[in-house]
Amino acid sequence: MHELSLAGSILQLVEDAAQREGFKRVTLLRLEVGQLANVELHALQFALAAIAPGTLLEGAKLAFDEPAGQAWCQHCRQTVAMAERGCACPLCGGYALTPNGGLSLRVVDMLVADSS
């Protein structure tokens, strides 16, 4: 389950920001998890909850944005919806698709507190 290592990277990123900006605690962490990011949202939520105790993510609320997956269809010459990797084009049924949207996992923003 690679969500656990993703959660670790997210924590690292938050800790780096805390050092840079001098905050002690995160009250809300908003993440973008694209539909095609290859991340299982519930597994990521679980992993973050598992590593949070004792860190500055302890007690933080989590919010998730889930941008829809999109892909460029070479046949249709346009961007089409793609719910999952490996899906066929909804317009032509072909597989000449290059994913180009909903691919990212990133921290969108966070609300922080100065004291713990």
Q: How far is the CB of 37 from Zn ion (least distance, A)?
A: 22
Query: For the chain, what percentages of helix, strand and coil (3-state, to nearest 5) are there?
Result: 25, 30, 45
Q: Which residues bind Zn ion (CB under 5 A)?
A: 73, 75-76, 89, 91-92
d(CA 51, CA 21): 22
Q: How far is the CB of 93 from Zn ion (least distance, A)?
A: 7
Of 29 and 80, CB closest to Zn ion? 80
Question: Tokens 């690292």 correspond to what residue?
Answer: 12
Q: How far is the CB of 72 from Zn ion (least distance, A)?
A: 9
Question: Tokens 């690679």 correspond to what residue?
Answer: 2
Distance from the first to the final alpha carbon of the chain? 31
Of 91 and 113, CB closest to Zn ion? 91
Q: How far is the CB of 80 from Zn ion (least distance, A)?
A: 6
Give the CA count within 13 Å in the CB-facing half-sphere of 38.
Answer: 6
Of 33 and 71, CB closest to Zn ion? 71
Of 44 and 73, CB closest to Zn ion? 73
